[in-house]
Amino acid sequence: MTKIHFALATVLAFLAQAATGQPAASTTGALVIVPGFGTVTRANDEAHATFGVEEQDKDKALAASRVNQKIRQGTEILKREDPQARLKTRGYYTYAVYSDSDSSRPLKSRQIIGWRVGQYVEATTQNVSALPRTVAAAQQVLALNGLRFTLTEKTARSADDELIASAYRNLTDRIASIARAMGRNAADAVMDTVDYEGSGAYVPQAQPQLRASAAPAGMAASAAQAVEEPDFEPGETTLTMRVVGRVRFR
């Protein structure tokens, strides 16, 4: 057979293979790594409200005393308005206030003209419907420094079964799509590994960043008075899961 005849035979064989719809390359034994994704959405049913108070005075003891008194009053209000709320002290700080007239001098040599004292308390509650009333009552003494809504542990746990099923269903659907694209039957795909962490060498995930609330510049002292109730929309949280499958085609 001449070189021309051999080349012609090769082309005819390739055209015949393409006409049958079979893949040009064999996928037998091929290892495919497939990610799958699951999502479940639930209404937020827990609130985390952070309250704070800050006082400034030339006398450090007087500033601290006013802060302690207001925190005590505010805590009593929170307990009265929402007995089921869990309270937690978030921080207590005392800062010196320096004169601006000698700002060019080193801090240690500058004159102290006063003190800033403050404290924070966080209230965690599942009584979301009564939150506006609770916040308005506490704002007579304290300032609302931060608010976020989340899912309770019970709600998140109850959604876990649905989340796992959603992720696995998406994984198998994607495997079937890949099999069709490769010209193979989905029944030829054998699951080698299922990674429900979506970690390791398969799919690295970035950890969510929690943004901390900045300390307020200052909270002026004022007489306690009624505060109009705020309006809050708890919203919802979407839980996500990433699952990775290692699939080998027979």
Q: For residue 206, what pLDDT is reported?
A: 47
* Per-residue tokens: 94: 């005392």
Mean pLDDT of 190-216: 56
Kindly report, as residue ranges, where domains of CATH 3.30.70.2970 are found in the chain: 47-148
Amino acid at residue number 91? G
Q: What is the DSSP string of 96-136?
A: EEE-STTTTS-GGGSPEEEEEEEEEEEEEES-GGGHHHHHH
What pLDDT does 199 receive?
A: 60
pLDDT at position 182, please? 86
List where CATH 3.30.110.170 sits in the chain: 27-45+151-207+235-250
Categorize the per-residue pLDDT at 116 as very low, low, confident or very high, splitting at 50, 70 and 90: very high
Sheet strands side by side (includes 46-57): 86-98, 112-125, 46-57, 143-150
Contact predicate 240/156, CB 8 Å: no
List beta partners, residue 113: none
Q: What is the pLDDT of residues 158-171, one digit of tens each?
A: 899 899 999 999 99
Average pLDDT, the chain: 81
DSSP one-letter string for 134-189: HHHHHTTTSEEEEEEEE--HHHHHHTHHHHHHHHHHHHHHHHHHHHHHTT--GGGE
Residue 4, classed as helix, strand or coil, is helix
Judged against a pLDDT cut of 50, whether residue 209 lies above it is answered with no
- Supply the pLDDT for residue 248: 87
Spatial distance between the Cα atoms of 8 and 187, rounded to a whole number of angstroms: 37
Confirm or reject CATH 2.20.28.120 for domain 47-148, answering yes or no.
no
pTM of structure: 0.67
Residue 65 — φ and ψ, nearest 5°?
-65, -40
At 102, is the pLDDT very low, low, confident or very high (cuts 50, 70, 90)? low
Q: For the domain covering 27-45+151-207+235-250, report its CATH number.
A: 3.30.110.170
